[in-house]
Amino acid sequence: MPVDPPSPDDPPGTGPFDVVGVGSPLVDVLATAAEPVLADLGLQKGSMELVDLERAETIYERMGPTTEVSGGSAANTMAGVAALGGRAGFVGKVADDPLGTVFLHDIRAAGVTFGAVPVADGSSPDAEARGTGRCLILVTGDAERTMATHLGVATTISPADLPEDFVAQGRVLYLEGYLWDLPPAKAAMRRAIEVARANDASVALSLSDPFCVERHRRDFLDLVRDDLDVLFANEEEVVALFGTRSFDAAVGAVGEAGLLGALTRGAAGSVVVGPSGAAPVPAQPVDHVVDTTGAGDLFAAGFLYGLTHGAGPERCAELGGLCAAEVISHLGARPQADLQALVDAAGLR
């Protein structure tokens, strides 16, 4: 489905939005870690594991000095869209607690409109579903990140929490696959898709994590067949989704599904699959990779910004690669440099 560019008559910071993201609002807690620490904690390097509060506290105790920044996959993507000058909205569930206050401040300061109301901390009868979510991120010397996530109140988002009028204002609805682990959230995402479709919006999904794909492969394939216009995935995720023996075969499967595919391959760049076939796009050079946290999120931000501003698929991927290169050059999953200036300097406007 084509995406109409924004109207110049829409004032900045208001709907209709270029993109509305639905995801888990998290505060990221980052620290460097030696690989033996991961083994001692039973964490699989490069993966994301959902953990209960007790395990989160155990992992936190083993972490060295930490840096705390607001995060969450879809929220990071929306922050990137806003940093590029796009209009971004975000839907998620935070608690009325200190971490929730931090998240709300940061997402709004990033230029993103938040489309939900914080819930009172402790309002859930389930102790594991209280408090704003946090993601413990251990970064090894090769810049790979391993994540242990306690979602807190984000686990309770349901169709009743969905601000449908807000979602209806997006030209693109962007969903993070991580939320599919939670039955109420899955129902909220399905309802968001219905709202988007009723308002002629495109629907995009990030597969998020290979282990997430393994858990929900059948559901994701149903979405590919019936509901999606744009699919974001890395090489391992898309191969797992289609059950192919090679990346090239998975690329062919994306093309047969009729999707616009944005498939990332780390230092090898990305491959865009569209109406004209598959096209490789080189990665942007990076002097020193510090932390790969948020690389996929910011790639999606650049891609979606381009898509909603009239760029072709390959230019969208170039914008995504530029944003990903910026975020992996420092600690944390949100941009620190002026993305608009970087885009202008690279001649990608």
Q: What is the pLDDT of residues 207-242, one digit of tens each?
A: 988 988 999 999 999 999 999 999 999 999 999 999
- Concatenated DSSP letters of 285-316: P-S-----TTHHHHHHHHHHHHHTTT--HHHH
Instruction: For residues 316 and 3, give the distance between their C-alpha atoms in angstroms, rounded to a whole number.
Output: 13
pLDDT computed for residue 3 by the predictor: 53
215 membership: H or E segment, kind and range: helix 210-226
User: Which phi and psi (to 5°) does residue 32 adopt?
Assistant: -75, 150
Q: Are 348 and 322 in contact (CB under 8 A)?
A: yes
CA-to-CA dists, residue 60 to 37, 51, 289, 290, angstroms: 12, 12, 24, 21
| Distance of alpha carbon 348 from alpha carbon 304, whole angstroms | 14
- Mean pLDDT of all residues in the chain? 90
Alpha helices in 110-209 (DSSP H): 164-167, 183-198
Report pLDDT for 178.
Answer: 86
- Going by pLDDT thresholds of 50, 70 and 90, the confidence category of residue 15 is low
Task: Compute the distance between CA of residue 71 and CA of residue 154 in angstroms, rounded to an integer.
Answer: 13
Among 24-38, 116-130, 168-182, 205-219, the least confident range: 116-130
- Alpha carbon separation from 25 to 75, 82, 156, 269 (Å, rounded): 7, 16, 12, 28
Position 122 pLDDT exceeds 70: no
Q: In this structure, what are the phi and psi dihedrals at residue 28, rounded to the nearest 5 degrees?
A: -80, 135
Instruction: Calculate Rg over the CA atoms of the chain.
Output: 19
- Location of structure tokens 């616009």: 260
Phi-psi region at 238: left, alpha or beta (left = phi > 0; alpha = psi -120 to 50): alpha
State the Cα–Cα distance between residues 202 and 195, nearest whole angstrom.
11
- Confidence grade of residue 248 (pLDDT, cut at 50, 70, 90): very high
- Tokens for 279, please give them: 């096209």
Categorize the per-residue pLDDT at 128 as very low, low, confident or very high, splitting at 50, 70 and 90: low
CATH superfamily of the domain spanning 17-25+72-132+152-345: Ribokinase (3.40.1190.20)
Q: To the nearest 10°, the Cα dihedral for 150, 130, 220, 315?
A: -70
With a pLDDT cut of 90, the percent of the chain lying above it is 68
pLDDT at 6: 46
Segment 185-211, tens digit of pLDDT? 999 999 999 999 999 999 999 998 898
Domain locations along the chain: 17-25+72-132+152-345
- Both tokens of residue 30? 């980052």
304 pLDDT more than 50? yes
Predicted TM-score of the model (pTM) = 0.87
How big is the chain, counted in residues? 349
- Residue 308 is predicted with a pLDDT of 96
Confidence label for 131 from pLDDT (cuts 50, 70 and 90): confident
**Which residues are within 8 A (CB) of 206 and not within 5 positions of it... i.e. 6 or more apart?**
73, 74, 77, 174, 175, 176, 177, 232, 233, 296, 297, 300
Q: So what's the pLDDT on residue 136?
A: 94
The one-letter code for the residue type at 48 is: M
